[in-house]
Amino acid sequence: MTIIVQKYGGTSVGSAERIRAVAARIIATKERGNQVVAVVSAMGDSTDDLIELARSLTDKPDPRELDVLMSTGEVVSSTLLAMTLKHLGHDAISLTGAQAGIRTDGSYSQARITDIDPGRIHRELHEGRIIIVAGFQGITDGMEVTTLGRGGSDTSAVALAAKLGAEVCERFTDVDGVYTADPRVVPQARRLKEICYEEMLELASYGAKIMHPRAVELGQIYKIPILVASSFNDNPGTLIHGGKMEFRNKISGIAHDLDVAKITLLRVPDKPGIAASVFEPMARAGISVDTIVQNASVQRITDLTFTVAESCLPRAMEVIKPIAEELGATDIVADPNIGKVSIVGTGIQSSPGYAAKMFRTLTDAGINIGLIATSEIRITVLIDKGRVTEAVQALHEAFKLETED
Amino acid sequence: MTIIVQKYGGTSVGSAERIRAVAARIIATKERGNQVVAVVSAMGDSTDDLIELARSLTDKPDPRELDVLMSTGEVVSSTLLAMTLKHLGHDAISLTGAQAGIRTDGSYSQARITDIDPGRIHRELHEGRIIIVAGFQGITDGMEVTTLGRGGSDTSAVALAAKLGAEVCERFTDVDGVYTADPRVVPQARRLKEICYEEMLELASYGAKIMHPRAVELGQIYKIPILVASSFNDNPGTLIHGGKMEFRNKISGIAHDLDVAKITLLRVPDKPGIAASVFEPMARAGISVDTIVQNASVQRITDLTFTVAESCLPRAMEVIKPIAEELGATDIVADPNIGKVSIVGTGIQSSPGYAAKMFRTLTDAGINIGLIATSEIRITVLIDKGRVTEAVQALHEAFKLETED
């Protein structure tokens, strides 16, 4: 029989009414002749409530204890869903991460799945049961409870799908798929029927808050098709799958991000090791550095520019100031008034025309491009925060994304 | 080093402030040179909140799922307490029932502890850590989470104390010990410095809601002294211990219970098997039958009287009516207007004078005795509910319980 892994996010199980709706969807999936393993997140804001409880006692909760505390949120929602299914006459059982055999390393709050022992799940499926797995958590070889950090429940679901040989991992949240651009910015944005892993990764990393890159990557490695759909309606959603790199020769979508700030070190002597001496301390301080651009060196003097989340700017400046001085930079310029816009598509690598069209469109709209960075299937520009909406709309129209090819 | 097991009830860990107070008490105990293992209940009303969540989804929650759900309450409070201790500079670690090695049978919601594997706790104690154990829960050999039912966390604590060879099990709640009578009824009631297991069992079973008989029994079997004290003050509390049956030849206290109703089957033919045919169906219906009295048979006809909790009366009558008819009883009389008063003390068995004094005191107060039942160390009477307060006060005075011997 076909195994389908489903994953329901926090909003999807946020109330008794929503849990009943999820149960109905699971039953429908089973009644189509599938074996169902559903992974759930914690209900609504319950994880935040637990963190608040911990913070009321200590400003620096012990990581091990915090993980055990956090893990209870998903256990609660999984049991509630399982008892609802039983109430509706379908045999079901909830499994904690430990019971589901999800083994992780011991990095509290950001554990990595090392392996899954699928024995218990297979036995329960064999008994005809629907399996509800508490997402976001696992257990170490030493019986310590861990949580998987950002994108954790998505990762649980994709990893289970891979280990169980599931046909598909269906991920239900309150958004009904991947769009050509954020529909709040571009009302004509179109839901994509499908997208390949690489494009999804670029979209996810560059501002489209659909799915954490970590889970997409896992799907890519194990070739698990991931359906992104809404638990609130029956729209068909978007299927993330392998595709072929040259299958579609066009732009899939436009990502944008407003939580960006730019830092530039002016006139740094261009010698080996500069990048490391800047970015290692940032990493140690836990600050994610995003786009990095180093201009061509003129007389062994260069400018180094990079972006961080705007919320991290003050801390980033604290870290960078003494380093810039040491390196002999003439100045540091911080600019919080920055936004990021990217076009993403597998066609980009084979068609230089896309880049030209992007720059032309922005120029015609009178939008100044502050910085350009590219990957094989993405072109990113930094522009004024205030012009981001306009830029996304103009690009969406220029690339005719509202119409299917 | 001496191991001390402490147990903190739900009110004692009901808020951040209370958790800090508990942490301070644990630290003080450790700093007196002890190894501390503390068992905690779920915070305040959190267990009720979880039950309410379940009931919002199904009127009959699956027992296995309900147990997993319930178990999260104690996990939450144990992690919060452990991180508070770490915050205060003391190495501590929380353990779930499973991690603490508490093995149970598979009777969901009323599991019995079958054994405790103390390996992990001993290792952690050896590392100098304070151990916080989530009470009320255990795990089966098949890795299923169970809860221990009524008095569960007390039972976890006493069982751990037994297995670890602890010097004492200190049980902290919002009451500061065992009194000669309920202080709300008898303001002069005196806190007992000590009481023996047998007396405590009789007091607990006959209305004094101090500690569940199950945990007291376990303490008695494994000879673990249990200190009952308040987590809200530093009063010395009451020590429950072995004592000697003839050590003190007097009354320890007076228990009373207002949640009582009496059922009498009139003129039942006295033949073998009557009691079974009445009480087996009651047990199957989950109704606890308390005091049972069968009057002496006259011409093979007898009256059978027993008591149930008043709240169970309607259901008990439903169960008993067809049975009474079948047995040929001439009538069933239900009386919800009943209260129970008991005097408890090891002296009773050797001094018939106590019974006489009890009956004389009640008679002098004009209180009619509806039924008498006795054990070796207890005499119980059923009287009008409205006269219970008066009876307790009169007996407290007659036996001079306000003064220490």
SS3 for B242-265 is CCCCCCCCCCCEEEEEEEEEEEEE
Are the CB atoms for B208 and B180 separated by under 8 Å? no
Q: With CB atoms and an 8 Å threshold, state whether B54 touches A94.
A: no
| Distance (Å) from the alpha carbon of A74 to chain B's nearest alpha carbon | 10
Q: What is the pLDDT of residue A205?
A: 67
A99 has a chain B CB within 8 A of its CB? yes
B68 has a chain A CB within 8 A of its CB? yes
C-alpha closest to that of A45 among A84, A9, A21, A17 = A9
Q: What is the pLDDT of residue A248?
A: 57
Q: With CB atoms and an 8 Å threshold, state whether A65 touches B75.
A: no
Q: What is the mean pLDDT of residues B280-299?
A: 80
- Model ipTM value: 0.82
Q: What is the mean pLDDT of residues A24-29?
A: 97
Mean pLDDT of chain A: 91
Pick the residue from chain A with its C-alpha nearest to B23.
Answer: A57
Q: Which amino acid is at A67?
A: D
Pick the residue from chain B with its C-alpha nearest to A65.
Answer: B79
Per-residue pLDDT at B236 exceeds 90: yes
Identify the three-state secondary structure at position A146: strand
**Of A296 and B376, more confident:** B376
Interface of A with B in 216-245 (CB under 8 A): none
Pick the residue from chain B with its C-alpha nearest to A99.
Answer: B143
Q: What is the pLDDT of residue A284?
A: 84
Per-residue pLDDT at A245 exceeds 60: no
E runs forming strands in A217-346 = 226-230, 238-241, 253-269, 289-294, 301-308, 331-344
**Of B76 and B369, more confident:** B76
CA A215, CA A160: separation in Å to the nearest integer? Answer: 11
**pTM of the predicted protein model:** 0.85
CA A75, CA A6: separation in Å to the nearest integer? Answer: 16
Q: What is the pLDDT of residue A244?
A: 64
Q: What is the pLDDT of residue A249?
A: 58
Q: With CB atoms and an 8 Å threshold, state whether B80 touches A66.
A: no
Q: What is the pLDDT of residues B329-356, one digit of tens each?
A: 889 999 999 999 999 988 787 777 888 8
Q: Are strands B3-8 and B130-134 parallel, antiparallel or unpaired?
A: unpaired
B86 has a chain A CB within 8 A of its CB? yes
Residue B153 β-bridge partners: none
Contact list, A80 vs chain B (CB under 8 Å):
53-54, 57, 65, 69
Q: What is the pLDDT of residue B284?
A: 84
Please state which of the ranges A214-223, A242-251, A285-294 shows the lowest mean pLDDT: A242-251
Q: With CB atoms and an 8 Å threshold, state whether B16 touches A57.
A: yes
Contact list, B83 vs chain A (CB under 8 Å):
54, 57-58, 61-62, 65-66, 69
Pick the residue from chain A with its C-alpha nearest to B20.
Answer: A57
Contact list, A86 vs chain B (CB under 8 Å):
58, 62, 65
Residue A305 β-bridge partners: A264, A293
Q: What is the pLDDT of residue A15?
A: 95
- What percent of chain A shows pLDDT beyond 90? 68
Are the CB atoms for B332 and B324 separated by under 8 Å? yes
Q: What is the mean pLDDT of residues A2-21?
A: 96
C-alpha closest to that of A151 among A235, A213, A68 = A213
Q: What is the mean pLDDT of residues B276-285?
A: 84
When CB atoms are compared, the residue of A65, A79, A87 closest to B82 is A65
Q: What is the pLDDT of residue B371?
A: 85
C-alpha closest to that of B207 among B80, B92, B342 = B342
Per-residue pLDDT at A342 exceeds 90: yes
When CB atoms are compared, the residue of B64, B71, B83 closest to A57 is B83
Q: What is the pLDDT of residue B203?
A: 84
pLDDT band for position B207 (cuts 50, 70, 90): low
B294 has a chain A CB within 8 A of its CB? no
CA A352, CA A397: separation in Å to the nearest integer? Answer: 19
When CB atoms are compared, the residue of A66, A72, A84 closest to B58 is A84
Interface of B with A in 4-33 (CB under 8 A): 16, 19-20
Q: How far is CA A313 from CA A261, A318, A320, B116, in A?
A: 7, 9, 10, 52
CA B394, CA B381: separation in Å to the nearest integer? Answer: 14
Pick the residue from chain A with its C-alpha nearest to B14.
Answer: A53
B123 has a chain A CB within 8 A of its CB? no
Q: What is the pLDDT of residues B300-333, one digit of tens each?
A: 788 888 899 998 899 999 999 998 888 888 899 9
Contact list, A72 vs chain B (CB under 8 Å):
72, 75-76
| Distance (Å) from the alpha carbon of B46 to chain A's nearest alpha carbon | 12
- What percent of chain A shows pLDDT beyond 70? 96
A139 has a chain B CB within 8 A of its CB? no
Q: With CB atoms and an 8 Å threshold, state whether A93 touches B64.
A: yes
Q: Count CB atoms within 10 A of the CB of residue B321.
A: 12
| Distance (Å) from the alpha carbon of B12 to chain A's nearest alpha carbon | 15
Q: With CB atoms and an 8 Å threshold, state whether A69 touches B75.
A: yes
When CB atoms are compared, the residue of A19, A69, A83 closest to B62 is A83
Pick the residue from chain A with its C-alpha nearest to B72.
Answer: A72
Per-residue pLDDT at A334 exceeds 80: yes
Q: What is the pLDDT of residue A405?
A: 61
| Distance (Å) from the alpha carbon of A29 to chain B's nearest alpha carbon | 21
Q: What is the mean pLDDT of residues A194-201?
A: 90
Q: What is the pLDDT of residues B31-45, one digit of tens each?
A: 999 999 999 999 998
Report the run of H or E that residue A173 belongs to, with start and end: strand A168-173
Q: Which amino acid is at A28?
A: A
Q: With CB atoms and an 8 Å threshold, state whether A53 touches B16.
A: yes
Q: What is the pLDDT of residue B91?
A: 98
Per-residue pLDDT at A208 exceeds 70: no
Q: How far is CA B390 from CA A309, B287, B372, in A?
A: 73, 29, 18
Identify the three-state secondary structure at position B172: strand
Q: What is the pLDDT of residue B263?
A: 92
Per-residue pLDDT at B246 exceeds 60: no
What is the token pair recorded at B336?
């919800």
Q: With CB atoms and an 8 Å threshold, state whether B65 touches A83.
A: yes
- What percent of chain B shows pLDDT beyond 70? 96
B80 has a chain A CB within 8 A of its CB? yes
**Of A337 and B283, more confident:** A337
Q: Which amino acid is at B278?
A: V
Per-residue pLDDT at B245 exceeds 80: no
Per-residue pLDDT at B208 exceeds 90: no
When CB atoms are compared, the residue of B57, B71, B86 closest to A83 is B57
Q: What is the pLDDT of residue B206?
A: 64
When CB atoms are compared, the residue of A64, A72, A84 closest to B76 is A72
Pick the residue from chain B with its C-alpha nearest to A142.
Answer: B99
B249 has a chain A CB within 8 A of its CB? no
Contact list, B93 vs chain A (CB under 8 Å):
64-65
Q: What is the pLDDT of residue B405?
A: 60
Q: With CB atoms and an 8 Å threshold, state whether B57 touches A80.
A: yes
Mean pLDDT of chain B: 91
CA A179, CA A176: separation in Å to the nearest integer? Answer: 9
What domains appear along chain A, each with residue ranges and CATH number?
3-174 (3.40.1160.10), 253-398 (3.30.2130.10)
Q: What is the pLDDT of residue B244?
A: 64
Contact list, A66 vs chain B (CB under 8 Å):
79, 83
Q: With CB atoms and an 8 Å threshold, state whether B86 touches A65.
A: yes
Q: How many CB pairs under 8 A join A and B?
A: 110
A91 has a chain B CB within 8 A of its CB? no
B65 has a chain A CB within 8 A of its CB? yes
When CB atoms are compared, the residue of B58, B83, B120 closest to A65 is B83
A87 has a chain B CB within 8 A of its CB? yes
Q: What is the pLDDT of residue A60?
A: 93
Q: What is the pLDDT of residue B215?
A: 92
What is the token pair recorded at B100?
């603490």
A96 has a chain B CB within 8 A of its CB? yes
Q: With CB atoms and an 8 Å threshold, state whether B56 touches A99.
A: no
Q: How far is CA A134 from CA A158, A161, A168, B238, B372, in A?
A: 13, 14, 19, 43, 55
Q: What is the pLDDT of residue B376?
A: 80
Q: What is the mean pLDDT of residues A259-265?
A: 91
A93 has a chain B CB within 8 A of its CB? yes
